[in-house]
Amino acid sequence: MLGDRVQLQQVVLNLVIERIEAMAEVSDRSRELSVRRSVTTRRWPRLCFVSVQDAGPGLAPEHLDRVFEAFLYDESERVGHGVSPSARSIMEAHGGRLWVNRQRRPRLTFQFVLPAPNTAPS
């Protein structure tokens, strides 16, 4: 299955923009954003992994299950978080999955996995 390129690009772009916005108030360290991708080569079916990691304020553990709400505002951190719920549904419609990992604070990593294009293994 090949995906809708526009929808998939929109998910990545939204994640990047939201992570940049999450770092807007950071002043005590460098604002770093990392976007990585990899494709499995020794597994069938092949999978494509993408991660977007920021050096923003992070997110309290009790808010992780709410991060895919339209908008989450954490008063204690004075930072708005929230990933469009459509991002998760776009990933699922493409046979993939989107999730968030809380790394050591202050970092969040959003990751998704999608099936890579169907090509016969060699």
Q: Which pLDDT does position 73 carry in this prediction?
A: 54
Q: What is the mean pLDDT of each run of 10 residues along the chain (122 residues)?
A: 83 89 84 91 84 82 72 48 75 91 76 78 48
Q: Which pLDDT does position 70 carry in this prediction?
A: 61
Q: Which pLDDT does position 76 carry in this prediction?
A: 47
CATH of domain 5-36+53-115: 3.30.565.10
Q: Which pLDDT does position 104 carry in this prediction?
A: 66
Quote the pTM value: 0.77
Rounded Cα–Cα distance for residues 84 and 82 (Å): 6
